[in-house]
Structure 1
Amino acid sequence: MFRWFESRARRRDRLRAQPFPEAWDAILRRHVPLYPRLSDGDRRELQGLVQIFLDEKHFEGCGGLTLTDAIRLTIAAQACVLLLHRETEIYARLITVLVYPSTYVAQAREPIGGGMVLKGEVARLGEAWKDGVVVLAWDDVLAGASDIHDGHNVVLHEFAHQLDQENGPADGAPILEHRSRYVSWARVLGSEYERLRKDAERGLPSVLDRYGATNPAEFFAVATECYFEKPGELRHSHPELFEELRAYYRFDPTQISGTG
């Protein structure tokens, strides 16, 4: 017996064409303040991306958390904001999103030199694993979504890592549209990373979170948070970095009401 399988492209087109449930719209208006501020066109695009994301990605509640539509939608919408205006595979490597009710404990390994590795338990708000898993703490997801101006958003941060890992280990250089773009990307983000690292060592203030000075991968994730949540400040204090991120994301958050 032959079975007919719907192609991925056709299935995605069908999902995009489906009406977005009113209950889902209400949830996003309540939990994701950025959502109602989008233009009608951007909001429709985001709705289509969310419908595909929820169809293709698996969610799992951990630590006793019972998953709800509010949890899935709040995470999916923020993750898909990073995909607006771009040709994308919609996080091709992502398989599962694990959600804890709050800060969770994970095993950590830290090289300390001489071939030695320090092992121990650390508290986490989120992680992006290279084998297709994102882990999030729901209370921090909700807090990050509710304040779109504080520069802290664990979903944007961890899904920026997912984008970074689409071409291999996270190194601060995601897949760019043209090979020629890597020269400018490396120059600007490398320079800005060193600037943040030196500012952090000297205790100097920055619109970018100091955690971005950890390594280039964390710098890209922190810069993404800042780009979407403090775009006006980033454009003013780091114009070249702002332009590199604008060229990559093809979405200018300063054009959203109340964010510039």
Structure 2
Amino acid sequence: MFGYFETKRQRRNRIRSQPFPNDWDAILHRQVPLYQHLSDQDRQELQGLIQIFVDEKHFEGCGGLTLNDAIRVTIAAQACILLLHRETDLYPRLISILVYPSTYVAQARQPIGGGMVLEGEIARLGEAWKDGVVVLSWDDVLAGASDIHDGHNVVLHEFAHQLDQENGPADGAPVLEQRSQYVSWARVLGNEYEQLRQDASLGRPSVLDRYGATNPAEFFAVATECYFEKPKELQRSHPELFEELRAYYHFDPTEIRELG
């Protein structure tokens, strides 16, 4: 008798078809304000993505943090907001999410010119490693989720890096649907990155966080944070960048119901 082998698509459809747990819904209403302002259709799609994400990805508490559903679901929801309306394999290179209670210390290497590198410890809110690991500070996850207008969200930032790394090292150019899109993407994001570098060096204000001037990969992650948290400001001040991100994400945050 032949055994039954479930394909990835079948397994995901089975998981998605299961009722969304009431306690998970309560967690999202309590800790992810954006969730309750999505349309019913978008909320249902997000729920299915969350169910698959929690089932497939390994979560690990670090620094004494005890994991629970509130942590898993809050992180999964924000990560999966980046996947709404898109054909996606749910971060295929991602294996584990390491979660610390608060800001943690990590080793860092910083080139300082002349072939020299400065090494030392630095406090971090999060990291996205190229070998399938995202590291997050739980305190900062909560802070980023609670204020959806400040343009800072560590989960959106680090998972934008994950999208960027799906086709190799993070370089500010994620996988686009059509090859022709890369020409426009490179032109617009390249120009915007150089503009932010100039603004940062001259101390000029920008809706984009100046950390995005670090390199093209950080620019894409910062632009993603801004797109989802300050969409109207970004659309007014950087319309071409806004349109590139809207074409990529297939989701327009300016259309989200107004928050109270």
Please classify the TM superposition score into its range, dividing by the shorter chain length.
over 0.9
In 1: Cα distance, 2:111 partner to 2:5 partner: 47
Q: How does 1:30-179 map to 2 (within 5 A)?
A: 30-179=30-179
Q: Which residue is equivalent to 2:29?
A: 29
Residue by residue over 1:123-172, the C-alpha shift from the partner in whole angstroms, topping out at 9 and shown as x without a partner, is 00000000000000000000000010000000000000000000000000
In 2: Cα distance, 1:130 partner to 1:4 partner: 34
In 2: Cα distance, 1:216 partner to 1:111 partner: 16
Residue 16 in structure 1 maps to residue 10 in structure 2 = no
Amino acid in structure 1 at the alignment position of 2:115: G
Residue by residue over 1:233-260, the C-alpha shift from the partner in whole angstroms, topping out at 9 and shown as x without a partner, is 000000000000000000000000126x
Residue by residue over 1:55-82, the C-alpha shift from the partner in whole angstroms, topping out at 9 and shown as x without a partner, is 0000000000001111000000000000
Residue by residue over 1:77-113, the C-alpha shift from the partner in whole angstroms, topping out at 9 and shown as x without a partner, is 0000000000001000000000000000001111223
In 1: Cα distance, 2:254 partner to 2:205 partner: 22
Q: Which residue is equivalent to 1:200?
A: 200
Q: Which residue is equivalent to 1:252?
A: 252
The unaligned stretches of length 5 or more in structure 2 are: none
- Structure 1 segments (4+ residues) deviating >4 Å: none
Q: Which residue is equivalent to 1:210?
A: 210
Per the normalisation by structure 1, the TM-score is 0.98
Amino acid in structure 1 at the alignment position of 2:29: R
Residue 229 in structure 1 maps to residue 225 in structure 2 = no
In 2: Cα distance, 1:222 partner to 1:101 partner: 23
In 1: Cα distance, 2:35 partner to 2:135 partner: 23
Amino acid in structure 2 at the alignment position of 1:224: T
Amino acid in structure 2 at the alignment position of 1:31: Q
Q: Which residue is equivalent to 2:185?
A: 185
In 1: Cα distance, 2:227 partner to 2:3 partner: 46
- What secondary structure, in the 3-state scheme, does the structure 1 residue paired with 2:235 have? helix
Shift of 1:118: 1.6
- What secondary structure, in the 3-state scheme, does the structure 1 residue paired with 2:134 have? strand
Residue by residue over 1:179-232, the C-alpha shift from the partner in whole angstroms, topping out at 9 and shown as x without a partner, is 000000000000000011000111000000000000000000000000000000
The unaligned stretches of length 5 or more in structure 1 are: none
Per the normalisation by structure 2, the TM-score is 0.98
In 1: Cα distance, 2:40 partner to 2:179 partner: 33
Amino acid in structure 1 at the alignment position of 2:68: T
RMSD: 1.1
Shift of 1:2: 7.0
Provide the identity percentage: 81
- What secondary structure, in the 3-state scheme, does the structure 2 residue paired with 1:212 have? helix
In 2: Cα distance, 1:111 partner to 1:193 partner: 20
- Aligned length in residues: 259
Amino acid in structure 2 at the alignment position of 1:136: L
- What secondary structure, in the 3-state scheme, does the structure 1 residue paired with 2:67 have? coil
- What secondary structure, in the 3-state scheme, does the structure 1 residue paired with 2:85 have? coil
